[in-house]
Structure formats: C-alpha cells, structure tokens
Amino acid sequence: MARPASAMRGHILESALRLFATGGFNGTSLHAIAADAGCSKASLIYHFSTKEAILTELLSPAGEGVAALAARLDALPADQRVRAAVVGYVDLALRYRREVKILFEDTPTMICNPALGDIPALSDRLVVAMGGGTGEPRGIVAAHMVLGAVFVTCASEVDVPKDVLREELVEGALRTLGHRVD
C-alpha cells in the first residue's frame, strides 16, 4: 500500500537531513535520498523538483527560528538581552543540530540560502544583544566568539547528553561574555 503524500514527503525530508548531515549537501545525490526514503527518484522529484528545494525546506524552520529570536530580543529590556540571546541561540543550535552541521560543511554557500533569511544581519543583531549593546570591542569580540563556538560545537559529534551540553554551552557562553553564571 502506498504511503500518503505527506508521509512520503516527511520520509524524504528526514532521509535528506540525515544524508546531508553525514555526507554533505554536495556529496548526497537525489538517487541516494530516494533510496534511503524508500521511494523512486520520480516520486522524490514529484515532491521536490531539486535537491536545493529539499535543502530550502529543511533550513526554513531554522531561519524562522533565528528571525523569531532576534524579534524577541528586540522586545526585551537591555539588561535581559545577553542571557536571552545566549540561551535562545544555544537552544536553536541544539534544536537544529543536523542543519547546523550541514551549514558548517559549506558555510559561505549555505548562509546565502534564502530559507535562512538574512543571516548576516540576524547575526549582527545577536552580536549586539550578546555584546551588551554597548559597541565595546571586548563585547563584540566575545559575542563573535560565542556565535562561532556554539556553531562549531553543535556541528560536531560531542558525546555529551543534550541537557548537559546545553547547560555547558550556556554557561561557557555567559562566562566568555563576562557574565555571572547563576
């Protein structure tokens, strides 16, 4: 019995995400995705016309999450932005860990994907929030260090339980930014 279209679409996306995260976007073919999802290449192309269309659908939730975080930060009082920016960024990086790994494999090409929105502008907003909004070099450099370290850590295969990893990332980021860890 054939699977419903929405179920097949979900299987294709899950297969693509797993394969992109392990073999890279460029190292994964539509044929490999179809085989992993248990469908024909024609069926895959019925749902997604290109590999780029699959990638766009996979990255859209992460891009929306970063934009939503930036909007939440804008609504907070300045004294609450640093912690909220760190916790929000760590949570997003962990929630979309496989997507981060895909982005890490080919960062220059991937961050320009329209599904992610304007990542450079959103990153700048996170830097301002994490840096305390003062524009001081120390805060700006520390914020860039946090963005990079969380990104690389979440793209890596760190053998630590997710809740412990989250706690360590948040605490390490706050220490890097010169904030007390409660």
With tokens 């992993």, the residue in question is 36
Chain centroid to CA 67:
12
pLDDT higher than 70, residue 3: no
Q: How far is CA 31 from the centre of its chain?
A: 25
With beta carbons less than 8 A apart as the criterion, state whether 136 and 109 touch.
Answer: no
Q: Examine the pLDDT at 140 and tell me if it is beyond 50.
A: yes
Q: Which ranges of the chain would DSSP assign to H, the alpha helix? A: 5-23, 30-37, 41-47, 51-74, 78-95, 97-105, 107-110, 119-130, 137-155, 162-176
pLDDT of the residue at 115: 74
Model pLDDT for residues 37-88, shown as the tens digit of each residue: 999 999 999 999 999 999 999 999 998 999 999 999 999 998 899 999 999 9
Percent of the chain at pLDDT above 70?
96
Average pLDDT, the chain: 89
- Whether the predicted model's global pTM rises above the 0.85 cut: no
Residue that wins the pLDDT comparison between 120 and 31: 31
Under the phi-then-psi rule, with left for phi > 0, alpha for psi from -120 to 50, and beta for the rest, what region is 177? alpha
| Confidence bin at 119 (pLDDT 50/70/90) | confident
CA–CA distance from 125 to each of 48, 90, 121, 145, 147 (Å)?
A: 33, 15, 6, 15, 11
